[in-house]
């Protein structure tokens, strides 16, 4: 089933309750409705089935890598990051998604996720980290966003705000642009960030990584303040997030350091030496 116009079912549903005005529906509407897209209050798309979510993620990925970022060309580095990500994704609540973990060239310290299993990390973030457990923590947090379907929950309403209801035949390119902008530039809610942290910590432990890695990243980010790091200005305070993660582990220091990935020397050889 095609999702070339993924929001059309929701807009048509609004039109059906809007009154006597006449409208011409795109014939693909019926296919989308038969596909089981249900409209949540506020145009919540968190109920997209996995195939639909993957299709949207693929569209976003194409635009992301053609217009926003350049993929890093170091295949060894890419394989290393993807291997860590795949190990984590296998322990998530959505292991059947076609997960992809991609390194993109940017000095910005950042990582982000869209939907359908697409996760990105910048070379700037890789250079900021000290060991594989920290890398696992960053990737696990992004997996947590996809596991929690945080982007689809925001997508419908954001489209209506930015593109309006000018036509029932919604432009798929415009929809994808809005989705990409939402993933890159518009913050998740405070609750979504804490939820992704909690999910990420759980995923790390399941995969055998030392939870201290994610907590360490939070402390390092807190040390930066808002010093030119765009996403820090839109996220909850990193110290507060570190405290919440520590509480999730009941303050157990032994549990924090239990697992692998805390070897700084190995990370320097496998990652930092390649940047």
- For residue range 97-115, list pLDDT tens digits in order: 999 999 999 999 999 999 9
Q: How far apart are CA 114 and CA 205, in angstroms?
A: 23
Sequence spans of domains, the chain: 47-271
Q: How far apart are CA 171 and CA 262, in angstroms?
A: 47
The beta-strand segments (E) located in the chain are 70-71, 100-105, 111-113, 118-122
**Considering the chain, what percentage of its residues have pLDDT values greater than 70?**
71
Q: What angle do CA 217, 80, 96 make, to 5 degrees?
A: 90
Tokens representing residue 133 in the block: 């457990």
pLDDT value of position 119: 97
Q: What is the mean pLDDT of residues 253-268?
A: 96
Which helix (H) or strand (E) segment is 24 a member of?
Answer: none
pLDDT value of position 171: 53
- For residue range 160-219, list pLDDT tens digits in order: 455 444 434 445 676 677 677 777 776 677 899 999 999 999 999 999 999 999 999 999
Which range, of 30-39, 56-65, 95-104, averages the lowest pLDDT? Answer: 30-39
**pTM as predicted:** 0.79
- For residue range 139-176, list pLDDT tens digits in order: 999 999 999 998 877 776 555 455 444 434 445 676 67
Number of helices followed by number of strands (H, E) in the chain: 13, 4
The beta-strand segments (E) located in 106-228 are 111-113, 118-122
Q: What is the mean pLDDT of residues 46-68?
A: 86
């Amino acid at each position: 089933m095609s999702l070339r116009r993924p929001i059309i079912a929701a807009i048509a549903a609004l039109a059906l309750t809007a009154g006597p005005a006449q409208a011409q529906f795109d014939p693909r509407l019926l296919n989308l409705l038969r596909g089981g897209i249900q409209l949540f209050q506020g145009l919540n798309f968190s109920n997209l089935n996995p195939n639909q979510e993957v299709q949207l993620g693929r569209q976003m990925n194409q635009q992301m890598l053609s217009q926003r970022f350049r993929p890093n060309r170091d295949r060894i580095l890419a394989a290393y990051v993807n291997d860590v990500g795949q190990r984590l994704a296998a322990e998530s609540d959505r292991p059947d998604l076609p997960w992809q973990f991609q390194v993109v060239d940017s000095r910005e310290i950042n990582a982000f996720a869209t939907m359908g299993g697409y996760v990105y990390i910048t070379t700037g973030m890789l250079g900021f980290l000290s060991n594989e457990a920290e890398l696992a923590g960053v990737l696990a947090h992004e997996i947590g966003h996809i596991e929690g379907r945080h982007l689809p929950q925001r997508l419908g309403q954001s489209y209506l705000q930015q593109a309006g209801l000018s036509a029932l035949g919604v432009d798929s390119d415009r929809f994808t642009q809005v989705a990409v902008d939402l993933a890159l530039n518009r913050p998740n809610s405070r609750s979504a960030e804490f939820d992704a942290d909690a999910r990420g910590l759980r995923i790390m432990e399941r995969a055998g990584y030392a939870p201290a890695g994610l907590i360490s990243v939070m402390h390092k980010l807190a040390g930066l303040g808002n010093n030119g790091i765009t996403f820090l200005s839109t996220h909850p305070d990193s110290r507060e997030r570190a405290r919440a993660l520590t509480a999730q582990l009941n303050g157990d220091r032994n549990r924090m350091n239990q697992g692998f990935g805390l070897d700084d020397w190995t990370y320097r050889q496998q990652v930092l030496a390649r940047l």
